[in-house]
Chains A and B, each alone.
Chain A
Amino acid sequence: MNQKSNLYRKEKIYGFLFILPPLLGLLIFTLYPMIYSIYGSFTDWDGLGQMNLVGLSNFKDLWTDELFHKALFNTLFMMLGIPIGIVLALLLALGLNRGVPGTTAFRVIYYVPVISSLAAVSIMWNWAYNGDYGLVNQFLDLFGISGPNWMANKYTVKPALIIMAVWKGVGYTMLLYLAALQSVSRSYYEAAELDGAGSFKAFWHITWPMVRPVTFFIIVTNIIGGSQIFTEMNIMTPTGGPEYASASVVFYIWQKAFGNFQMGYASAMAVVLGAFIFVVTLIQFRMNEKQSFDVD
């Protein structure tokens, strides 16, 4: 008995010891800064002088800040890429799931943009969107369409970024769908066929419900990722684009914090962004509770 409790005490100590690094990391690099961000959002922090509490004034300013509204609208608008990507990825996965020749090669090719550096592909797409010599307009020329100067036009800059985002991310989503499709038992389809269901019906009543958890996971992670979009605009439109039409929320936070040293104001935006992501993730946790996180 004594020996057993001794053993347990030792296990307790080692258990704590082993998880100490990530726990400390979490406290120092995430929780403490987060509390500081929240505190900073209520101050006039400029990074140099004193931090004076100013109540809700930063948030009030956000309410009327046109550039913030633009950045927010742009960020949300670019999330239109999410449904487009989902539909394309699912179609690709359905195609690949039939076992056509070259499946492995296709998987690799569609995944290459995913692993490519975002900075490098932003540079490449920026050149591809060049109005006179860009690949995109040269392609459109084949159909007699003369394309715009994509990144310099406030109406085309967002669609251009969406196209690029879909291109960059579709392989990842496709892979997740492919994995999900492969776990759907064939017997469902055989039963459906016996019942005389066509392929569309089979898709609608079997496939789509079966991949629902994956769809949900993709939507949530894409919203979280999409709300933090930054690198593309920083490289492709360093000034925020024509009439600030391509600036994102993180782009604006970054500009305010490290360009204008309005740390308090930038913190307020960061808090708003954090709250948004918190809510989205919370929904995911709630919806997923039954299926995954089985913390015994």
Chain B
Amino acid sequence: MKSRRRVTNTIIFILLLIGAVFMIGPLLWMLSTSLKDKQDVFALPPVWIPNPFQFGKYKEIWEAGPLLSGIKNSVIIAVSVTLIGTFTSSLAAFAFAKLKFPAKNKIFLLMLSSLMIPYPAVMIPQFFMFSKLGWVDTLLPLIVPGLFGNIVMIFFLRQYLSSVPNAIIEAAKIDGSSYFRLYSSITFPLIKPAVAAQLILWFMGIWNDYLSPIIYLNSPEKQTLQLVIANFNATYAIQTDYPLIMAASIIALLPMLIIFLIFQKQIIESVAISGVKG
């Protein structure tokens, strides 16, 4: 019995390994292409290990297009939204979970049901709202809505807060603690890990977003990183400069990959919890 189990496990391990090759292979190929010279790209059979390694493209891309300003814009949007938005979201989650006020649950349900409304269904009027304000081709339409908070995060933190005993909060209340202090010095420290995981997921979502930036941002120097690399693709594919395109894509992918590798435990846990809770 035991040896049969070991054989099965070995087979499964090998299958998982083959699967892993398929998952990571295209990304490695992308990396390898970015390090080839132009002729090697079209070599048949394919060359996996470039000979010699050409790091030139990683220098060239900074001059080839507004990559640096793309990174800067993406960082500005993602950082300002996640920092302020996390504050407003966690404050609201605290109120929903631990404070008593009329119509609380009705408002919460209203927010939850608004999750049913997809972005494409509201993007056209939103565009006109921002265009009336003269905000098209600025980063503001991508920043301002996020500052008001994120409903998914509120929902998640509210669930998490239900495991924080009310007694702690009641005791502090009796001690005359202000409501903001209840949030900032008692609740927030307790939910920090959940906040961090949600913040990272949100950050990744904004960093990788494509639809809303493409609607609002026209001038190359205003565009986010995702738009910049998409434009690289459109421009340099005609010149078949695939190493350059792949190098730019690697740059777009790398920051999230690093964040993921550092925080993978928290991210994976957070995803797993949100899924199981539905």
Q: Would you call A180 and B276 a contact (CB within 8 A)? A: yes
A18 to B178, CA, bound (A): 13
**A-chain residues with CB within 8 Å of residue B102 when the two chains form the complex:** 12
**A-chain residues with CB within 8 Å of residue B41 when the two chains form the complex:** 133
**Interface size bucket, A side?**
35 or more
Could you give, for residues 171-206 of chain B, a 1 whenever the CB lies within 8 Å of some chain A CB and a 0 otherwise? Answer: 001000001100100000000000000000000100
B115 within 8 A of A: yes
Candidates B101, B124, B151; contact of A15 at CB < 8 Å: B101
Total A-B residue pairs with C-beta atoms closer than 8 Å? 293
From B100, B105, B272, B275, name the one whose CB has the most chain A CB atoms within 10 angstroms. Answer: B275
Interface residues of B in 18-74 (CB under 8 A from A): 19-20, 22-27, 29-30, 33, 41-42, 44-46
CB distance from A46 to the nearest CB of B (A): 11
Task: Give the dominant DSSP class at B's interface.
Answer: helix
Candidates B117, B179, B234; contact of A10 at CB < 8 Å: B179
Q: Would you call A33 and B13 a contact (CB within 8 A)? A: no
Q: Would you call A110 and B183 a contact (CB within 8 A)? A: no
Q: Would you call B275 and A133 a contact (CB within 8 A)? A: no
CB distance from B28 to the nearest CB of A (A): 10
Closest to A280 in B: B116
From B8, B124, B214, B227, name the one whose CB has the most chain A CB atoms within 10 angstroms. Answer: B124
**B-chain residues with CB within 8 Å of residue A40 when the two chains form the complex:** 124-125
**B-chain residues with CB within 8 Å of residue A127 when the two chains form the complex:** 30, 33, 242, 245-246
A292 to B234, CA, bound (A): 45
A1 within 8 A of B: no
**A-chain residues with CB within 8 Å of residue B112 when the two chains form the complex:** 293
Candidates B116, B120, B123, B233; contact of A235 at CB < 8 Å: B233
Give the number of chain B interface residues (Cβ < 8 Å): 102
CB distance from B183 to the nearest CB of A (A): 7
Tell whether A19 pairs with B95 under 8 Å between CB atoms, given A10-B179, A113-B23, A126-B233.
yes
Q: Would you call B121 and A92 a contact (CB within 8 A)? A: no
B167 within 8 A of A: no
**A-chain residues with CB within 8 Å of residue B121 when the two chains form the complex:** 34, 37, 270-271, 273-274, 277
Interface residues of A in 104-134 (CB under 8 A from B): 106-113, 115-121, 123-128, 132-133
Closest to A138 in B: B46
Interface residues of A in 247-296 (CB under 8 A from B): 249-250, 253-254, 257-258, 263, 266-267, 270-271, 273-274, 277-278, 281-282, 284, 288, 291-293, 295-296
A143 within 8 A of B: no
